[in-house]
Amino acid sequence: MAKIVKIESCSDYENLNDAAKALANGELVAFPTETVYGLGANALDTQAVKNIFIAKGRPQDNPLIVHIADKEKIYELVCDVPKEARKILDNLTPGPVTVVLNKSDLVPDVVTAGGKTVAIRIPESEIARELIRRAGVPVAAPSANTSGKPSPTKACHVAEDLEDKVSYIIDGGSCRVGLESTVVDLTVTPPQILRPGGVTHEELSALLGEVVGYAGGTSEKEAPKSPGMKYRHYAPKAKMTVFEGENIEKCILEEIKKHQGKRVCVLCAGVREYTDVISINCGDTPEDYSKHLFDALRFADSEECDVVLAEFPFKRQGITVALFNRINKSCGGNVIECR
CA dist 132 and 153 (Å) reads 19
Q: Find the angle CA(221)-CA(224)-CA(230) to the nearest 5 degrees.
A: 70
290 binds, among Mg ion, ligand TXA, none (CB under 5 to 8 A by kind): none
Exactly one of 42, 51, 93, 98 binds ligand TXA (CB under 6 A); that residue is 98
Tell the smallest beta-carbon distance from residue 249 to ligand TXA (Å): 33
Which stretches within the chain are classed as H helix? 17-24, 46-56, 83-91, 109-112, 126-135, 155-162, 201-208, 248-258, 286-302, 319-330
**Residue 20 near residue 185, CB atoms below 8 Å:** no
CA dist 129 and 67 (Å) reads 9
Counting residues that bind ligand TXA (by CB under 6 A) gives 29
Under the binding rule (CB under 6 A), the answer on residue 79 touching ligand TXA is no
183 binds, among ligand TXA, Mg ion, none (CB under 5 to 8 A by kind): ligand TXA
Under the binding rule (CB under 6 A), the answer on residue 183 touching ligand TXA is yes
Contacts of 321 (CB under 8 A, 6+ apart): 196, 200, 201, 213, 214
**Residue 298 near residue 160, CB atoms below 8 Å:** yes
Under the binding rule (CB under 6 A), the answer on residue 62 touching ligand TXA is yes
Under the binding rule (CB under 6 A), the answer on residue 166 touching ligand TXA is no
Exactly one of 26, 82, 115, 283 binds ligand TXA (CB under 6 A); that residue is 115
Nearer to ligand TXA, 220 or 276 (CB): 220
Under the binding rule (CB under 6 A), the answer on residue 178 touching ligand TXA is no
Under the binding rule (CB under 6 A), the answer on residue 195 touching ligand TXA is yes
Under the binding rule (CB under 6 A), the answer on residue 36 touching ligand TXA is yes
- Is 222 exposed, middle or buried, given 0-12, 13-18 or 19+ CB atoms closer than 10 A? exposed
Counting residues that bind Mg ion (by CB under 5 A) gives 1
Stretch touching ligand TXA by CB under 6 A, among 1-9, 11-19, 79-87, 177-185? 177-185
Query: Among residues 240, 230, 255, which one has the least CA distance to residue 301?
Result: 240
Under the binding rule (CB under 5 A), the answer on residue 143 touching Mg ion is yes
